[in-house]
């Protein structure tokens, strides 16, 4: 098994094969075990990326909500809608419920 993983690492330039075997030799009995570990690594990486993107989207949504609040306050203070949109940098085509 070790030789196959080393060969794959050399042929592909991908060190994950070697890392999988080096981390926990006792759990690797077949190439199916290797595939399972690669899959779990991919799932963990996907979850990490998803969480990171989710936090980014939350920040964006929070910024837009803040801009809408400022827009509404400007309108309440007498600014016309066009000027309030310009000041808050909200797009003209964005629907703003009042």
pLDDT string in tens for the chain (98-residue length): 777 777 888 888 888 777 776 766 666 677 788 788 888 888 888 888 877 777 777 777 788 888 888 988 999 999 888 898 888 888 888 877 64
Q: Where are the domains of the chain?
A: 2-88
Q: What are phi and psi of 90, to 5 degrees?
A: -90, 140
Query: What is the CA angle 44-47-49, rounded to 5?
Result: 110
* Ranges assigned E (strand) in 5-58: none
> Distances in Å between the alpha carbon of 78 and those of 11, 32, 65?
69, 68, 20
Tokens in use for 68?
């809408």
Cα 28 from Cα 31, distance rounded (Å): 8
Give the model's pLDDT for residue 24. 62
41-59 as b/e: b if 16+ CB within 10 A: eeeeeeeeeeeeeeeeeee
């Amino acid at each position: 098994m070790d030789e196959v993983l080393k060969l794959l690492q050399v042929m592909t330039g991908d060190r994950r094969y070697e890392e999988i075997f080096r981390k926990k030799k006792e759990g690797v009995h077949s190439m199916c075990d290797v595939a399972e570990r690669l899959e779990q690594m991919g799932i963990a990486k996907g979850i990490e990326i998803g969480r990171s993107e989710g936090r980014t989207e939350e920040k964006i949504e929070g910024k837009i909500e803040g801009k809408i609040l400022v827009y509404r306050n400007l309108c309440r203070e007498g600014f016309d809608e066009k000027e309030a949109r310009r000041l808050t940098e909200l797009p003209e085509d964005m629907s703003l419920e009042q």
